[in-house]
Amino acid sequence: MNFEKYPFEKLNELLKDVVPNDKFELSALTIGEPKFETPQFIQDKLKETTPLLRKYPSTVGEVFLRESMINFVKNRFNVSLEINQIVPTFGTREVLFNFPQFALFDKENPVIAFTNPFYQIYEGAAIASRA
């Protein structure tokens, strides 16, 4: 598969010889990167549950995690889901890349439209889906 460079890589190449005006603070243009400390209760829970890290989780996610997700969706959105309707992921990229392959797998001439041409995962999903 042949992928285009990320738009920000191309932009960095174009701007490599530009000297920023030191009178202004630089703006970070990263996407989704946390800029805050991890809350203490999360750090504490991670320390308490480190024995669970002795093995890889199942591909579809551990039952207790999926049940927690189902309860969250029910409490937050009043939507009832079944255990087989939940698949935990590490982030949105996994879903954005893999779901089109699943949804378009048996389509003869798949077509995909994506909302942001600058987020390269959409291009990868289209190429992997033959769309």
Two tokens, residue 105? 């797998």
**Whole-prediction pTM:** 0.53
pLDDT category of residue 59 using cuts at 50, 70 and 90: confident
Question: Over 80: is that where the pLDDT of 7 sits?
Answer: no
Residue 43: its pLDDT value, please? 95
How far is 98 from 50, CA to CA, in rounded Å? 29
Q: Residues 67-122: pLDDT tens digits?
A: 999 999 999 999 999 998 888 888 888 889 989 998 999 999 999 988 877 788 88
Question: Over 80: is that where the pLDDT of 34 sits?
Answer: no
Residue 123: its pLDDT value, please? 87
pLDDT category of residue 31 using cuts at 50, 70 and 90: low
The average confidence (pLDDT) of the chain is: 87
- Helical H runs in 16-105? 40-48, 63-77, 92-104
For residue 89, the tally of other CB atoms under 10 A from its CB is 13
pLDDT category of residue 17 using cuts at 50, 70 and 90: very high
Which candidate, 95, 125, 128, places its Cα nearest to that of 113?
Answer: 125
Average pLDDT in the 26-34 region? Answer: 71
Domain spans in the chain, listed from the N-terminal domain onward: 54-87, 89-131
Average pLDDT in the 9-18 region? Answer: 88
